[in-house]
Amino acid sequence: MKSFFIRYRRWFISLWEVAVILVTLVTAFLLRFDFSIPRSEMPQLQRALWIALLVKMIVFNRAELDRGWWRFAGIPDLVRVVAANVIASLAFALVNNAIAGPAFPRSVYFIDFLLCFLATAGGRFCVRLYHETVSRELSKPGRKGLLIYGAGRAGLTLLKEIQAKPSLGYEVLGLLDDAPAKRHGSLLGVPLLGTGRDAARIVERFKYSHPVEEILIAMPAATGHQMQEALANSRAAGIPCKTIPGVSELLSGKVLSGQIRNVEIGDLLGREPVQLDESRISSTIARRSILVTGAGGSIGSELCRQVARFEPDVLVALDQSESELFKIDLELRRKYPSLNVVAELGDIRDYPRVDEVIRQHAVDSIFHAAAYKHVPMLQSQILEAARNNILGTRNVVRAAERNGVSDFLMISSDKAVNPINVMGASKRVAELIVSSRTQAKTKFVSVRFGNVLGSNGSVVPLFQEQIASGGPVTVTHPEMRRYFMTISEAVQLVLQASTMGKGSEIFVLDMGEPIRIADLARNMIRLSGRIPDEEIEIRYTGLRPGEKLFEELVTDGESILPTFHSKIKIFQGVRANGDWLDKTIAALEIAVKLRDENGVVTQLQHLVPEYRPETVPQPLRLREASRAAGGR
């Protein structure tokens, strides 16, 4: 029955409007003549009923009063109903006066307007009142007791939706807010019970009446510190908490209550939503052939997703991993069925294959995300780090030049700044290769940023696995700090930076303040509902080979230049001489072919004078130890 009503609801509303128009006009006549209409006035009434029905239904239909859900009726709906009734009553009066003349009782027009307005507006708000009171009370048993943390606009909107939708299964018992000015107030009849620090006391108060089962943090614009404090207050009360997305996520258009989710580690960063000049991005991507290398990786796959939004003519996804390439290809085809997606298996270390892909698809722009990036592993894989990150990048750069690609952007790393590890040194050389191409028609730029949350092999998935298994959570050093941002934010800024380059620049993203890894571990343990250092141990294991305590974003000799975007800066240093760079990399390539790790390290130090390895790379150390043992 309910589905039948929903399906034909506009017909039911129209029938309701017909009834209102007829009944209110008759009632207006009755009131005018003290409930005794003279026989001489009956022809006037009958004619007026037909005129009112015709004129008012046309106006109500044009005003779309048969649309919208009455249970959510608000001030905008009231304004629309007032306007529709004013116009309908005036039109009725004009038409009827033109036909009936001055003999028609003028007071009837005004009485009819008042009654018709009260009926059309009152019907809507009676439905809303029913859903927010009677229906809510009937469905109250079994609903979760809820505290909303945040009495701002988001909290108010959420409260309205929860009250209007008993099916959500929540009963809002009260509000929490840390603003002193809001104490002892209320929203929609729900009291503001105290601040976040009062959560434990408030939960105890409701323990035997209607227990609080959940705290919902409704602060989409909160800073990382505010979210951490709200989370700590909720945990102190011993109650699980959820949140709503940040401002940028709310732009998806879903209702607020439909986006309630668990608090995630990204919420605790407190990153402000990225503001993009999408018209500029679209002009560099729409109707063009775009190639993404490393398309199966965490950064590469997100690049594919966001590039796809701007409707390129063709999106070429290149990766050497068949399974990861298959996943992103399948996802893109499902989400963007009209997009021309081409998945190409290939290795950037294979120049003929890279050249073939670029030539075959007439590539206009390249986003080069393919790289080896795990610091401790590359300390023991020097030759592969050089082959992939340096020689592979050179292959893509040369193929781009040869085929007249207009734009080339490489994803770099903060580990390229004053590197002490092989991975950082290899990425710094890759930056030099890209920035040295000053004479090419292709615009070559690099974008440097730090760690992204949730990327493959990053610390966050590792901590999640360790927490799920009951610990311990391993942290290398209590003072280790890293820059963090979300993958989505990083890629959005990469796309924006791609519109700024004139050639040879290194763009650096604003990563905010560095975060202590130990604090990150503790916050993740709290998010899982456990107590750090009590239920789950945090164990310090010592720095691994090639690791720094602190990462940097600028090397010596680089100058800071602003851009029109507050979160993107240009760091412009001394460019390497192209001929010297080519000769030195050629020497490095020979060392790689000869499997000469010492030779590779020597060439890395020639290419990157600031490269000061804190530890001897593992294979060299093992060889020296073996030689020493053989000499005894």
User: Known catalytic residue: 567?
Assistant: no
Total number of residues shown for the chain: 632
In degrees, to the nearest 5, what angle opens at C-alpha 366 toward C-alphas 365 and 369?
A: 155
Q: Which of 415, 427, 567, 569 is catalytic?
A: 415
CA–CA dist 103, 374 (Å, integer): 92
Both tokens of 60, joined, read 């109500």
Cβ count near 266 (within 10 Å): 21
Is the peptide bond between 76 and the residue preceding it cis, with omega within 30 degrees of 0?
no
For the chain, what is the total number of helices (H) and then of strands (E)? Answer: 24, 22
SS3 452: strand
The answer to whether the beta carbons of residues 518 and 454 sit under 8 Å apart is no
CA–CA dist 488, 206 (Å, integer): 40
CA–CA dist 498, 239 (Å, integer): 45
CA–CA dist 376, 483 (Å, integer): 18
Q: Is 525 exposed, middle or buried (0-12, 13-18, 19+ CB in 10 A)?
A: buried
The answer to whether the beta carbons of residues 481 and 516 sit under 8 Å apart is yes
Q: How far is CA 360 from CA 352, 366, 487, in A?
A: 12, 14, 30
Amino acid at 268: L
Looking at the annotation, which residues are catalytic?
415
